[in-house]
């Protein structure tokens, strides 16, 4: 079974995201919307595959993901933002080829959340992990790799947007443990934290082009991206902390391995 964790905070698109996940799944799934100290104006639909988790106190994005994982019963975990659409059969495609030491993402399109349609913009496949402005780790579109490896459908990549990933539950338990809030805060650098932990443990960050998801385009309202009063984003602090923890490892081992 695949357990889908959705950290949610006051985004009306949560309902459409849940519908997309349900309508396009072809295997056994459970969806865990983690309502981070709020109740939506329109209640979550009733479906035996949905298990709503309500947090009485605002924990922020990382805390909500950790709470959702603790409730999950599936062999695999999928984390989704609260404003995403999914391809038909995404669940089987992402789990049936996922190896025990992989984190996997898919081709990422851009979603028009008003029309709820994929936008006519080239999607993102490979991303290069870089240090941006000396302040944080960031994923950078890797167009040369897109062309060089266009015929490789399941392939290793360096970075991903944290909005959607899949991994075996055992890998989370044994390697990730939980998303750390000390130093990072609640909102940023979560994908990089997981990727570095995975590399350290001998695992891989993988891209599966056999399926796709679409994430709300940044030209639309950003929703929760800047955190809450209880849990501010601390964007700059998070980036600098990640560099402090992982910077040497990245410079001495990861960059030489990838030849960048």
Residue ranges per domain, the chain? 2-258
Beta strands in 96-217 (DSSP E): 102-112, 117-118, 127-132, 136-141, 154-156, 164-168, 204-216
The maximal CA–CA distance of the chain, rounded, in angstroms, is: 51
Q: What's the rounded mean pLDDT across residues 115-121?
A: 97
Q: What percent of the chain has pLDDT over 90?
A: 91
Partnered with residue 154 across adjacent β-strands are 208
Closest C-alpha to 79, from 22, 206, 164, 159: 164
- The answer to whether residue 224 scores a pLDDT higher than 50 is no
Q: What percent of the chain has pLDDT over 70?
A: 95
Out of 61-70, 220-229, 232-241, the most confident range is 61-70
pLDDT at 91: 98
Distances (CA, A) of 161 to 39, 45, 61, 73, 175: 27, 28, 14, 25, 20
- The DSSP bridge pattern shows strands 154-156 and 53-55 to be unpaired
**Using CB atoms within 10 A of its CB, is residue 61 exposed (0-12), middle (13-18) or buried (19+)?**
buried
Q: What's the rounded mean pLDDT across residues 121-142?
A: 97
Q: What is the dihedral of CA 89, 92, 93, 94, to 10 degrees?
A: 120
CATH of 2-258, one of 3.90.550.10, 3.40.50.80, 3.40.50.720, 3.40.50.10490: 3.90.550.10
pLDDT at 255: 97
Q: What's the rounded mean pLDDT across residues 164-171?
A: 98
């Amino acid at each position: 079974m695949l357990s889908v964790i959705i950290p949610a905070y006051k985004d009306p698109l949560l309902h459409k995201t849940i519908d997309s996940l349900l309508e396009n799944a072809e295997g056994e799934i459970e969806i865990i919307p983690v309502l981070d100290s709020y109740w939506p104006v329109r209640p979550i639909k009733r479906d035996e595959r949905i298990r709503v988790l309500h947090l009485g106190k605002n924990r922020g994005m990382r805390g909500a993901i950790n709470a959702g994982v603790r409730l999950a019963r599936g062999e695999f975990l999928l984390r989704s933002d609260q404003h995403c659409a999914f391809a038909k059969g995404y669940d089987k495609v992402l789990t049936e080829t996922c190896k025990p030491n992989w984190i996997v993402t898919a081709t990422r399109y851009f979603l028009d959340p008003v029309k709820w349609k994929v936008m006519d913009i080239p999607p993102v496949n490979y991303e290069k992990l870089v240090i941006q402005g000396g302040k944080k780790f960031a994923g950078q579109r890797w167009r040369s790799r897109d062309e060089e490896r266009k015929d490789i459908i399941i392939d290793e990549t360096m970075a991903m947007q944290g909005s959607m990933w899949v991994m075996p539950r055992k890998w989370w338990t044994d390697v990730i443990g939980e998303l750390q809030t000390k130093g990072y805060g609640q909102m940023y650098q979560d994908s990089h934290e997981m990727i570095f932990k995975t590399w350290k443990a001998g695992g891989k960050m993988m891209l599966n082009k056999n399926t796709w998801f679409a994430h709300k385009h940044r030209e639309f309202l950003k929703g929760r991206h800047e955190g809450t009063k209880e849990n501010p984003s601390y964007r700059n602090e998070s980036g600098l902390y990640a560099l402090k923890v992982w910077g040497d490892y990245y410079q001495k081992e990861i960059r030489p391995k990838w030849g960048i």
